[in-house]
Amino acid sequence: MSLLEILAKRLIIGVATLLFVSVLVFAGTEILPGDVAHAILGQGATPELVAQIRDRLGLNDPLHVRYFVWLTNFVQGELGTSLANGADIIVEIERRGRNTAILAVTTAVIAVPLAVTLGLVAATRPGGIIDRIITSISLALISFPDFLVAVVLVTVFAIKLQWLPAIASIRPSYEFADWVRVLILPVTALSFTILAHMVRMTRSAVLSVLSSPAIEMAILKGVPRRRLLLRHALPNAFGPIINVVALNLAYLISGVVVIETLFNFPGLGRFMVEAVTNRDVPIVQACAMIFCSIYVLLNMAADILSIIANPRVRYKK
Amino acid sequence: MTPEATGWRASLRDAISDLTPGAAICVLFLIFVAVVGLFASWIAPYDEGTILTNESFLPASSEMWLGSDYLGRDVLSRLIFGVRVTLFLAVIITMLSFTAGVGFGFAAAAFGGNVDMIVSRFNDAMLSFPALMLALIVINALGSSFAVLIITIAFIDMTRVFRVARALAVNIMVLDYVEAAVVRGEGKSWIIWHEVLPNTLTPLAAEFGIRFTYAILFVSALSFLGLGVQPPQSDLGVMVRENMQSILYGEYTAIYPALGIAAIAISMNVFVDWMLQRSSAKLPDEI
Amino acid sequence: MPEPLLRIRNMDVTVRDKKGSEHKIVEDISFEVQPGEVIALIGESGSGKTTISLACMGYSRPGCYLTRGSVHLGDESVLEKSLSDLQKLRGQGITYVAQSAAASFNGAMKIGDQVTEIPVITGSMSKHQAQAKATELYKALELPNPEEIGSRYPHQVSGGQLQRLMAAMAMISDPKLLILDEPTTALDVTTQIEVLHSFKKLIHDNKMAAIYVTHDLSLVAQIADHILVLKDGKMVEYGATKQIISDPQHDYTKALMAAAHVMPEEIHAPLTITSRQPLLRVENVTAGYGPRRDVIALRDIDLTIEAGETVGVIGESGSGKTTLGRVISGLMRPSSGAVYLDGNQLKPTVAERPREELRQIQFAFQMADVALNPRQRLGKILSRPMRFYRGLSHREANREVARLLERVDLPTEFINRFPPELSGGQRQRVNLARALAAEPKLIICDEITSALDTIVAEQILDLLESLQDELGISYMFITHDIATVSKISERIAVMRHGRIVQQGPVNEVLTPPCHEYTQLLLNSVPEMRTDWLEGAVVERRELIRALDGISK
């Protein structure tokens, strides 16, 4: 297969996965018991009212028709209205989505390079003192529940020292400096969890490259250490590292949900948790689709990058 | 290698003598936690639900070793009962996910061909969901109860176990000793039981530990979000949620259960790490 | 006596395992390399030969430590050098050619950049000069397309070419000493001598000093001036090549000589056939791999095996010899043709064959360490076929396992051992014993001696013959090694590209005039004389030309 064919295949799989995700989100939110009409009406559901609402929402149409209507609407950005307060969901999603994006991207920008560097440093001298410190701290950190680091950070920096706010509410008037103040604690807490996973996986990916005969050969050739790591080891570890990063975005997503709730941060994660608590189906659907699609797309991007980075695929025999 | 390494008793003795101090402490702690969970009602000084005082977040005292919670209940007693619920859920979830994941994984590897392809594709598709999203969707539809939590998380975990078990088995299925059994005319079930399983026990045991930790963290996270264990039941995650305000008063009530979760998880991870290093086994998941 | 180029004195190398216990893998090694001289380190696996050669470069693998002794290059002590001096030494003073070039090249970098890397980064040559020098070396090493081969990636060229490219990489800085670690072992037999010839010419033309590491005595006879024989990390014998070959002193060297891969003097006479019906008949079998089975691995194969006979099937990797074994044993379904046992047509796959038919054809795998389940005791491994095929009770089976172990010359206490507790040769005996446990009429032996050290392989061949004498079983002996096959077989079939190009009694097939490909295989077996290589290479090229003519 040529490079283009492989990439095309990966793209098709990506699109198919997205469709599968949408089917499951739809099925999970609409087919399972807990009918929307009942959810809207709550205690005051009489059979007539239920029938009326079902009709208005199109719930009496066949399933596949409802699915396609829903999917087309979703793609066009028509996400419906909240069952709880009738507000247009898209408006809220745009506002909160931006906040979450700022939180997640800031965390990724800080955590990913840091994790890859730490993983590399640990892998270059396995068993050395730095490696042992990094691996044992990261082993402890992956065992921490997402909220532990956050709770400790808040206790120390917000309550005891009173340097930073314990609640991360956002006001429209916020300047850059306000954003920084508000984000420091959530970003730090979020970074810790994904950092730990990423450091461990990067380390083992780089270690397996470093123990290859090709690296031994480069040592025996007299390649200086810096060049050995940067020119010989790193290009071969590139593919695995990209996959490590993509895999850890799953932790970032669940971390975002927990951290937003803990800090009362007005983002998509908290929005979704509240919607699940209130059984606000259209919001859950929209948020789940957004989170899942981003995850699928990022994984696909990672795969494509590592395919392109592999010379065995790039240059055929 | 000892020339007369025979029997599980000898292997157990070997394993214990190989324990590093760190791993030994962790094993002892896990045993301690298990005992506390099992005998919670005998060990706990008070009933978990009784309101003992009108004052929230009392500091530690000789009557209440870890103080009182937001309703004035004894934190230590609730912690002990919380450990019981958390452990109970994690154990059930992990056992379920293992039985199903290993079963399907080995079967997929042994049968190969279309069976393997269909099961693996479905599994891959499930893995393309962030785990928390899957759980939130189900809980949104069904509400939260022990049964929903157990089945949902066990299912999510199963997809991970499947991948590991299948990869382990596939690596073994191509080895000559399996081929020798195939050419002898042995059936699939004999091959799985006698050729594949004995050679995957160590990595599977390690994976069991990892999944167990994961289940604890997952249940706790859901409970913390208010979507896991529902009052009046409570686990460690619920306790963190309930007592979050304590932090604002400068008390540590919410930190105790969080530390409890972390301690159990760390112990398990250290133990797993030791086990993998000792046997030089590798999990296929490790990239 | 001129000053030696390299001097090693009383060297010990120690391994420390995970639990911290130590043992010496190399002990008290001393030798010298004079300028322009080639010295061979000879030994079987575990003899420490690679460890010693790496130590010459001041390198030891993770977990190994040079605990005693000295290494001097000229008057400099290699072991006392700083890391940056060592890097200079490794790049320019002593260079290394590894066993598997395919694994040792960096897959993410162009070959040319890797070959010229050291002179370019140390500034001893400009990029342009280095490339010109590399191209010269490619020509000297008889590589195709010397102008453009450097711009390819490692996965784009063949194994034999990579091995030579690695030699070019080692030669580019004009090192004082070249270390070649089993540089031809990973190659097909017919490619091996071509590469060996390139190396010899290169060393000779440049008047290089070299250390040649190998397990194959007949190969070093072609290239080395001195031979150092190693066993279990200790020196056994050290002397001039002529002396070692013609007059070995130590018993171990004599055993190595006896087991060396040379053609046997005597070959078996064909069996006198008494029965009218052969034990096994393969008729017109074609088979292929891939989803549509269109990657053809076997074409129109006809083969018979008589009762009590050994038929050797020989070919290089990709010739289809293993596939043939798999088709006969039912592991692979042929796309056409049939296999008959005692005149009855066998069903194509294992799943369709009744147990009684399965019992009569047993398969012995190449690598005994993966052919035996490491978690099953020998008792279980050996008793299972007895109980499965012959319905023996637990007690009967155990009694018979003991007898079987004796039959393959293993102590009966081994019944409670696990395979990893045995040596390689012992495991191969168990592997054979398992096949015997079914009381078969035919055992398909797939390269069962090629992973073994030569002396152990010899013992396994002896065991096969004595079992045949006692039990009257037939063997189909699959191998790439024409010397081995001619020692043990009555008849042989030569395979190439999925076809049998020639078959018949050993003496007929191997006596000229034979098929060009058979001749090529014969031509590739090293002979124990020092001038063999040059003639063999000339003949090889003619044969290849003739074969190309046949293929077209």
What are the structural domains, with CATH classification, of chain B?
Answer: 20-57+64-286 (1.10.3720.10)
**Neighboring chain C residues of B176 at a CB cutoff of 8 Å:** 365-367, 370-371
Contact B183 C372 (CB under 8 A): no
> Residue C270 — pLDDT band, cuts 50, 70, 90?
low
pLDDT at position B286 is 42
Q: pLDDT at residue C459 above 60?
A: yes
Inside any domain, residue C26: no
**Neighboring chain C residues of A312 at a CB cutoff of 8 Å:** 107, 153, 155
pLDDT at position A41 is 64
Instruction: Find the helix packing angle between B131-142 and B201-224, rounded to 10°.
Output: 50
* CB burial string C13-47: b at 16+ within 10 A, e below: bbbeeeeeeeebbbbebebbbbeebbbbbbbbeeb
Same domain, C248 and C126: yes
Mean pLDDT of chain A: 85
Mean pLDDT of A85-106: 89
> Residue B222 — pLDDT band, cuts 50, 70, 90?
very high
Mean pLDDT of C285-309: 87
Same domain, C237 and C297: no
pLDDT at position B1 is 38
Inside any domain, residue C28: no
Inside any domain, residue C160: yes
d(CA B98, CA B203): 13
Q: Which residues contact A38 (CB under 8 A, 6 or more apart)?
A: A45, A50
Least confident of A44-58, A115-129, C184-198, C251-265: A44-58
What the block records as the tokens of B232 is: 């009046």
Same domain, C239 and C348: no
Same domain, C164 and C215: yes
What the block records as the tokens of A6 is: 């492989």
Q: Is A17 on the interface with B (CB under 8 A)?
A: yes
Q: What is the pLDDT of residues A248-298, one digit of tens each?
A: 877 888 889 999 998 889 999 999 999 988 888 888 889 999 999 999 988
In B, residues 260-279, which contact C (CB 8 Å cutoff)?
277
Same domain, C231 and C341: no
Task: List helix spans (H) across C107-158.
Answer: 111-115, 117-122, 127-140
Question: Pairing relation of β-strands C310-314 and C491-496?
Answer: parallel
Range of the domain at C113: 39-59+84-258
Inside any domain, residue C12: no
ipTM of the complex: 0.85
pLDDT at position C198 is 84
Q: pLDDT at residue B13 above 60?
A: yes
pLDDT at position C272 is 65
Q: Which of A237, A213, A202 is nearest to A131 (CA)?
A: A202
- Length of chain A (residues): 317
Q: pLDDT at residue A306 above 90?
A: no
Q: Which of A289, A283, A270 is nearest to A84 (CA)?
A: A283
Instruction: Give yes or no for a cis peptide into B232 (omega within 30° of 0).
Output: yes
d(CA C508, CA C514): 8
d(CA B29, CA B32): 5
pLDDT at position A6 is 85
Same domain, C105 and C170: yes
pLDDT at position B102 is 95
Q: How far does C48 lie from chain A, in Å, by closest CA?
A: 18
Q: Which domains are delineated in chain A?
A: 93-307 (1.10.3720.10)
What the block records as the tokens of A225 is: 């250490």
Enumerate chain C positions whose Cβ falls within 8 A of a Cβ in B.
Answer: 18-19, 329-331, 350-351, 353, 355, 358, 362-363, 365-367, 370-376, 384-385, 388-389, 416-418, 420-421, 434, 438
Inside any domain, residue C129: yes
> Residue B4 — pLDDT band, cuts 50, 70, 90?
very low
In A, residues 226-285, which contact B (CB 8 Å cutoff)?
240, 243-244, 250, 253-254, 257-258, 261-262, 272-273, 275-277, 279, 281, 284
Same domain, C291 and C254: no
Contact B255 A152 (CB under 8 A): yes
Task: Return the residue of B nearest to A285 by Cα.
Answer: B137
Q: pLDDT at residue B254 above 50?
A: yes
Same domain, C161 and C290: no
Q: How many domains does chain C have?
A: 2
Mean pLDDT of C453-473: 89
pLDDT at position B214 is 92
pLDDT at position C40 is 92
Mean pLDDT of A200-205: 88
Same domain, C354 and C236: no
Q: pLDDT at residue C370 above 60?
A: yes
- Of residues B146 and C91, the one with the higher pLDDT is B146
What single-letter DSSP state applies at residue C343?
A: T
Q: What is the pLDDT of residues C23-61, one digit of tens each?
A: 888 889 999 998 888 999 998 877 888 899 999 888 888
Count of beta carbons in the 10 Å neighbourhood of residue B115: 14
Please, which chains are in contact with A (at least 3 CB pairs closer than 8 A)?
B, C
Contact A216 C61 (CB under 8 A): yes
Q: What is the pLDDT of residues A48-73, one digit of tens each?
A: 777 777 776 666 777 888 888 888 88
Same domain, C349 and C209: no
pLDDT at position B8 is 73
pLDDT at position B96 is 96
Sequential DSSP letters for A147-168: HHHHHHHIIIIIIIS--S-SS-
Question: Residue C240 sits in a domain of what CATH number?
Answer: 3.40.50.300
Mean pLDDT of C3-23: 84
pLDDT at position B3 is 40
Same domain, C361 and C287: yes
Contact B177 C420 (CB under 8 A): no
Q: pLDDT at residue B6 above 60?
A: no
pLDDT at position C286 is 92
In this complex, which of C329, C416, C421 lies closest to B183 when CB atoms are compared? C329
Q: pLDDT at residue C2 above 70?
A: no
pLDDT at position B33 is 92
Q: Is A293 on the interface with B (CB under 8 A)?
A: no
Q: What is the pLDDT of residues C218-235, one digit of tens each?
A: 888 888 899 999 998 899
Q: Is C91 on the interface with A (CB under 8 A)?
A: yes
Inside any domain, residue C9: no
pLDDT at position B2 is 39
Mean pLDDT of C512-537: 82
Same domain, C252 and C287: no
Inside any domain, residue C92: yes
Inside any domain, residue C471: yes
Structure pTM?
A: 0.85
Q: Is B3 on the interface with C (CB under 8 A)?
A: yes
Look at residues C258, C290, C312 and tell me which one is the last residue of a structural domain. Answer: C258
Burial of A258 (0-12, 13-18, 19+ CB in 10 A): buried
Contact B266 A140 (CB under 8 A): yes
d(CA A69, CA C551): 63
